[in-house]
Chain A
Amino acid sequence: GDSVTQMEGPVTLSEEAFLTINCTYTATGYPSLFWYVQYPGEGLQLLLKATKADDKGSNKGFEATYRKETTSFHLEKGSVQVSDSAVYFCALSDSWKGNEKLTFGTGTRLTIIP
Chain B
Amino acid sequence: GAVVSQHPSRVICKSGTSVKIECRSLDFQATTMFWYRQFPKKSLMLMATSNEGSKATYEQGVEKDKFLINHASLTLSTLTVTSAHPEDSSFYICSASHPYGYTFGSGTRLTVV
Q: Footprint of B on A, CB under 8 Å?
A: 36, 42-46, 49, 89, 96-99, 101-107
Contact A43 B32 (CB under 8 A): no
The dominant DSSP class at the A interface is: loop
Q: Known contacts being A43-B6, A44-B93, is A98 close to B102, with CB within 8 Å?
A: yes
- Minimum CB–CB distance from B81 to chain A (whole Å) comes to 18
The dominant DSSP class at the B interface is: strand
The count of residues in chain B whose C-beta lies closer than 8 Å to any C-beta of chain A is 22
Interface centre among B6, B49, B102 (most CB of A within 10 A): B102
Contact B34 A43 (CB under 8 A): no
- Our count of residue pairs bridging A and B at CB distance below 8 angstroms stands at 51
- Minimum CB–CB distance from A26 to chain B (whole Å) comes to 15
Contact of A98 among B46, B93, B99, B106 (CB under 8 A): B99
- Minimum CB–CB distance from B70 to chain A (whole Å) comes to 19
Contact B44 A104 (CB under 8 A): yes
Cα distance, A97 to B32, chains bound together (Å): 11
Cα distance, A96 to B97, chains bound together (Å): 10
- Minimum CB–CB distance from B101 to chain A (whole Å) comes to 5
